[in-house]
Amino acid sequence: MRLVSVVGARPQFVKLAVMCRAVAEGTRVASHHIIHTGQHYDVEMNDVFFRDLDIPEPDAHLGVGSGSHSAQTAEAMTRLEPVLRDAPADWVVLYGDTNSTLAGALVAAKLGLRIAHVEAGLRSYNRQMPEEINRVTADHLSDLLLCPTPTAVRNLAREGLQDRAVLVGDVMYDAALRYRDVAEGRGGDLAETWRPGTFALATVHRQENTDDVHRLATILGALDRIAERICPVLLPLHPRTRKAMAEAGLSCRSVTTLRPVSYLEMLLLEGRARFVLTDSGGVQKESYFVRTPCITLRNETEWVETLENRCNVLAGADEEAICAAAGCARQAGPWTAVYGDGRAAQAMLGALEVALMEP
């Protein structure tokens, strides 16, 4: 079986790392080519992931870079088409909901290549999110839908895609199980400074929050209030957020900001935080995996299982709601949702093999 993985952004690198390890440990895959679109290219958003997670160097790096959603997707498609046309592929494997995923789905479908979508079936039902458009389009173009949860399978069934859907578990859970002890054992300055249970961890990067000055200012105001009244807040700044703050003249009075952190550093901080505030789907899940209460800075979530027992609370960009949720974060739990058995990657390879033999 010959696989080609198309990736381009930080969350995809973590999923790819799990897939690469499963490929290396098994005998099902004759070749696995990696195509990196270059959607994320900053050292802290890219290189550190390949190094820390021991991901092989990409077989092709397209150097797409940044731009508007349409420009970035179009450029990725233009550069991806000749590479995919010449790649030996039984399956083109796509991950998540980025512009790289959308570009990969469109190009592979037009070339008549089989497509498998990892993390299929997620729905926020908010078409204002670019990620929602990407994931829905990728699902409908894919031949095999590799679902992380029963909820995802049910979402696809409602869209008439149940025959392509397979429940395999969540590769991000695989990654958390494998790397959490590695993250804690590595130590370093962050481990020395941020002691368990003494701080809140925040991330903000979604377009709906960074591109709306009022929403961004409200969220930053809430983080300042939490830092002043409840506990210190640590905010690793995504490049998009840093740029948006600078252009709007926004700053944080009391929040500690720092560079983007690596995946291992993020796992360390999530596991040690008193609670997490985020608009990231991946961080919501990772917080759940390590049983840290989460406050989501959006009005909806794809990961509805995390909402059980107040393990995750939707607060949007409402300063009062965010602060109120922070005040009762310790009341979260128990954590009862199931994201697989830690062998999702092996299940995915099995599903790919079975589907390849079907007419």
Nearest to 16 by CA among 267, 263, 278: 263
The DSSP secondary structure of 291-318, one letter per residue, reads T--EEESSS--S-GGGGGGGSEEE-TT-
Q: In this structure, what token pair is assigned to residue 137? A: 């389009």
Q: Are 227 and 255 in contact (CB under 8 A)?
A: yes
CA distances from 316 to 222, 250, 300, 320 (A): 11, 19, 8, 10
Distance CA(201)–CA(207), nearest Å, equals 20
Q: Which two tokens stand for residue 69?
A: 């959603």
Residue listed under structure tokens 């020395």: 192
Q: Which residue among the candidates 61, 205, 214, 238 is catalytic per the annotation?
A: 205
Residue 83, SS3?
helix
The residue among 241, 252, 285 whose CA lies nearest residue 266 is 285
Catalytic residue check, 238: no
Q: Compute the distance between CA of residue 119 and CA of residue 8 in angstroms, rounded to an integer.
A: 15
Phi then psi for 22, rounded to 5 degrees? Answer: -65, -40
Where b means 16+ CB within 10 Å and e means fewer, 43-58 reads: ebbbebbbebbebeeb
Report the alpha-carbon distance of residue 311 to residue 171 in Å, rounded. 20
Q: What is d(CA 247, CA 251) in angstroms, rounded to the nearest whole number? A: 11
Instruction: Please answer whether residues 348 and 168 qualify as being in contact, where contact means their C-beta atoms are separated by less than 8 angstroms.
Output: yes
The answer to whether the beta carbons of residues 346 and 322 sit under 8 Å apart is no
- The answer to whether the CB of 127 falls within 8 A of the CB of 156 is no
Q: Which residues are catalytic?
A: 205
